[in-house]
Structure 1
């Protein structure tokens, strides 16, 4: 083989020398390629190493940035939670403040309303009666504004949480008809309401407030004609409707009147009173209940407000009672009554008012006074009028229960309160008491007492 020939033999044979050179060249090329591949691999490995280092650096930077962002987010969540807690405490404080102030303002307003009723009854001169009427109108305006502000503040604070249950419309219609009838009679309006046995699924207090505001709105802005309160079955729903022959509402104003402090221009031209809060409260309560509110109106002819609520089958005890008769003071003659209130000014005003109606009135501030009254075996009250919040932890239903238990019989009772909470309404239902909210209109009180005594 040529590969094994000694050098002197290769020199003598040129062809063998050429083959050896070619072979060596190929070996060299193969070695060079192997070296190059090795260097490329090393270069790639170094490049990968550098890339890994760079990626690690980027990952460390991104991790630090993410940790910083998470720290800031956690701090922001803490600040947001603190701000939310502060806002909730502020809302609770605001609600408690308005409730307390409202109760403190409604209490003297209640006494003033009762005293003014007595003043109006004894006036003989036309000018003096006009002045007394103007004062009464001012008190009504203050009452409506204060009540509306309390409702708005509770709605904003989320205090009004619907307690949806079957509600009998007949009882609500009867009570609201009794409340609105003195105003419509004074304005010579033809007020009609249809007794109904229909029931709906709603919150009883909120639904009553909705219909009350719609009736009050109709009575304020209707100067002549009629007002109708009715309920109709509409498939799975019940339509609660309030019709009036008032000034009507223009199409371009039908959204605006449901905003706070807004009234239609036709209502303003008619001289209607109010601050534009009634319909705003209606809209908010209807929305929170999931009901529907509809408005149909023609300027110069009148309006119809309709609330659509889910139908609920009425139970036996939801049947409506007969219509409320007009009260006459003579029917209260010589009837013994107990009035319980921890406010001396209210007691004095109630005694004067009820005595003029012919009632035999006994006054009590607490349970001790009640015990003293009942110690007279000849006195047996025909009706009890009790303030709900008395001194200490005593409430009006405690006084009612004490009298009923002592005398061993059921005695009709009316709870009078500025507290419009569900707990107060539930207590009135549990103890089978009627409920009136301060400030009480004397005509409303008289009509309710006449109905209960009849």
Structure 2
């Protein structure tokens, strides 16, 4: 079949005519098709091709634009990173310079504080001497004057002068004592003290004052030995007795002792008006006097109980108060028993298996500072003790569960990482083991609440820094009662 393209038209429409000569028949077949029909597939393909080319060109341009944008962003990010690094280095240098400056200021401040403390100590020493001198002279001149005055009117004036002199001396002594305690220049002399000697001295001092108010002062004897500073404890009990007598209009005052584990509780009872619950904390603040709005000096200065609080913090003794309005008050001081007293209480001898060192014990150290725990471990092991070490409360409890026997003593820092304090760790350990475990709490916090928490947990409290002698005494005071080994699972079965 042959075809040709010419300008053929049929009915005014361009056509394409195709011719084919018949092979066995003398004729020619002709077919006429509209040109649009013949060229439509080619036109469609051509349009599709152009469209694809256009889309590809657009896509190429888009990809090129994206690549260009990405390159610019990377370049901008690199520039920003370089700037940030430069600024960071500059800030580090500035902060380092600030820290150096701050450290220098801190060193100067510490040095200045040390100089201030030394100056304060010198001032207190000088004031204690120089201010007492004129009062001493006044007292002597007043005594000479009273001997030479004969007329009653003149003697009355001199007696008023003597009362003013007494008030001034009391205020001077109280202020100097408070300032000395606050300055930290008082160093307690801890030793074994007979509590009977302390109570007898306090009773002899205040029996006349109680008799003047027609109060019955009774002191119940106690033969215990305690570890404390005898002078400071005597002054503490004197302040408590003076306060009780001053605020007790009728009845009496009783001083007694109660043993509480490794502690001796010294109590001062009175039959005064009592103290409302909302005022129990305020009475230990400086110059606070309940029921004395007119500030009658004959009823004290409001410094007795604050001095008791300061001395108790210095000695590591807990001071507590219980009171019922209208019935009276009870002030108590918790004092650690001496080692001899604690050894007397230990009734069970050491087993034969520990004859190698009768004082050797299994001690669990709970301390998060590795340097301190290592030093404590070496010290205790040098004394012949077996030592376990844990970094916090949960680790200590887990170690106890795996230990072959319960420890004889837990020696713990008060502030530990994690959910448990040292006192709480000792309590949880006792609950876990089903028996009380003696505990020693080490802390640098002298707040009375720390002392109360340690006492509530049945622990002895030691304030850092602790010398080896003090630690040895505390361990000896806990007694030497051995703890049997746990039975293994096989033997228990």
TM-score (ref. length: structure 1): 0.53
Structure 1 position 294 matched with structure 2 position 326: no
Q: Which of the residues 61, 78, 90 maps onto 1:64?
A: 90
- Classify 1:106/1:232 alpha carbon distance in 2 versus 1 (closer, same or farther; 3 Å): farther
Q: Determine the C-alpha separation between the residues in 2 that align with 1:160 and 1:74.
A: 35
Q: Determine the C-alpha separation between the residues in 2 that align with 1:267 and 1:225.
A: 24
Tell me the CA shift for residue 75 of structure 1. 1.8
- Deviation string 1:395-449 (CA, Å, 9 cap, x unpaired) is xxxxxxxxxxxxxxxxxxxxxxxxxxxxxxxxxxxxxxxxxxxxxxxxxxxxxxx
Structure 1 position 305 matched with structure 2 position 331: yes
Counterpart of 1:264 in structure 2 is 290
Assess if the C-alpha contact under 8 Å between 2:202 and 2:238 holds in 1: yes
Counterpart of 1:147 in structure 2 is 173
Task: Determine helix, strand or coil for the equivalent of 1:275.
Answer: coil
- Classify 1:47/1:259 alpha carbon distance in 2 versus 1 (closer, same or farther; 3 Å): closer
Structure 1 position 81 matched with structure 2 position 100: no
* 1:248-263 matches, cutoff 5 A: 248-263=274-289
> Matched residue pairs, number?
303
Q: Determine the C-alpha separation between the residues in 1 that align with 2:274 and 2:123.
A: 37
Where relative contact order (Cα < 8 A, 6+ residues apart) is larger, the structure is: 1
- Classify 1:246/1:34 alpha carbon distance in 2 versus 1 (closer, same or farther; 3 Å): closer
Counterpart of 1:193 in structure 2 is 219
- Classify 1:34/1:163 alpha carbon distance in 2 versus 1 (closer, same or farther; 3 Å): farther
Task: Determine helix, strand or coil for the equivalent of 2:301.
Answer: coil
Assess if the C-alpha contact under 8 Å between 1:241 and 1:307 holds in 2: yes
Q: Determine the C-alpha separation between the residues in 1 that align with 2:252 and 2:194.
A: 25
Assess if the C-alpha contact under 8 Å between 2:167 and 2:297 holds in 1: no
- Classify 1:46/1:71 alpha carbon distance in 2 versus 1 (closer, same or farther; 3 Å): same
- The RMSD of aligned alpha carbons is 4.6
Assess if the C-alpha contact under 8 Å between 1:296 and 1:304 holds in 2: yes
Assess if the C-alpha contact under 8 Å between 1:247 and 1:301 holds in 2: yes
Tell me the CA shift for residue 224 of structure 1. 4.4
Tell me the CA shift for residue 136 of structure 1. 4.0
Counterpart of 1:335 in structure 2 is none
Larger Rg: 2
Q: Show structure 1 runs of 5+ residues with no match.
A: 1-29, 316-454
Q: Determine the C-alpha separation between the residues in 2 that align with 1:224 and 1:115.
A: 37
Q: Determine the C-alpha separation between the residues in 1 that align with 2:145 and 2:218.
A: 30
Assess if the C-alpha contact under 8 Å between 1:291 and 1:309 holds in 2: yes
Q: Determine the C-alpha separation between the residues in 1 that align with 2:144 and 2:207.
A: 20
Structure 1 position 99 matched with structure 2 position 125: yes
* 1:211-230 matches, cutoff 5 A: 211-230=237-256
- Classify 1:123/1:199 alpha carbon distance in 2 versus 1 (closer, same or farther; 3 Å): farther
Assess if the C-alpha contact under 8 Å between 1:250 and 1:264 holds in 2: no
Assess if the C-alpha contact under 8 Å between 1:286 and 1:292 holds in 2: yes
Counterpart of 2:186 in structure 1 is 160
Tell me the CA shift for residue 262 of structure 1. 1.0
Q: Determine the C-alpha separation between the residues in 2 that align with 1:297 and 1:117.
A: 43
Q: Determine the C-alpha separation between the residues in 1 that align with 2:269 and 2:85.
A: 72
Tell me the CA shift for residue 186 of structure 1. 4.2
Task: Determine helix, strand or coil for the equivalent of 1:265.
Answer: coil
- Classify 1:42/1:302 alpha carbon distance in 2 versus 1 (closer, same or farther; 3 Å): closer
Tell me the CA shift for residue 293 of structure 1. 1.7
- Classify 1:143/1:313 alpha carbon distance in 2 versus 1 (closer, same or farther; 3 Å): farther
- Classify 1:122/1:55 alpha carbon distance in 2 versus 1 (closer, same or farther; 3 Å): same
- Classify 1:252/1:114 alpha carbon distance in 2 versus 1 (closer, same or farther; 3 Å): farther
Q: Which of the residues 259, 281, 300 maps onto 2:307?
A: 281
- Deviation string 1:2-24 (CA, Å, 9 cap, x unpaired) is xxxxxxxxxxxxxxxxxxxxxxx
Counterpart of 2:234 in structure 1 is 208
Tell me the CA shift for residue 282 of structure 1. 1.1
As a proportion of its length, which structure holds more helix?
A: 1
Task: Determine helix, strand or coil for the equivalent of 2:337.
Answer: strand
- Classify 1:120/1:306 alpha carbon distance in 2 versus 1 (closer, same or farther; 3 Å): farther
Assess if the C-alpha contact under 8 Å between 2:203 and 2:219 holds in 1: yes
Counterpart of 1:409 in structure 2 is none
Task: Determine helix, strand or coil for the equivalent of 2:264.
Answer: strand
Q: Which of the residues 224, 241, 260 maps onto 2:267?
A: 241
Tell me the CA shift for residue 264 of structure 1. 0.6
Tell me the CA shift for residue 47 of structure 1. 5.2
Tell me the CA shift for residue 60 of structure 1. 0.5
Counterpart of 2:416 in structure 1 is none
Q: Determine the C-alpha separation between the residues in 2 that align with 1:183 and 1:280.
A: 21
Counterpart of 1:179 in structure 2 is 205
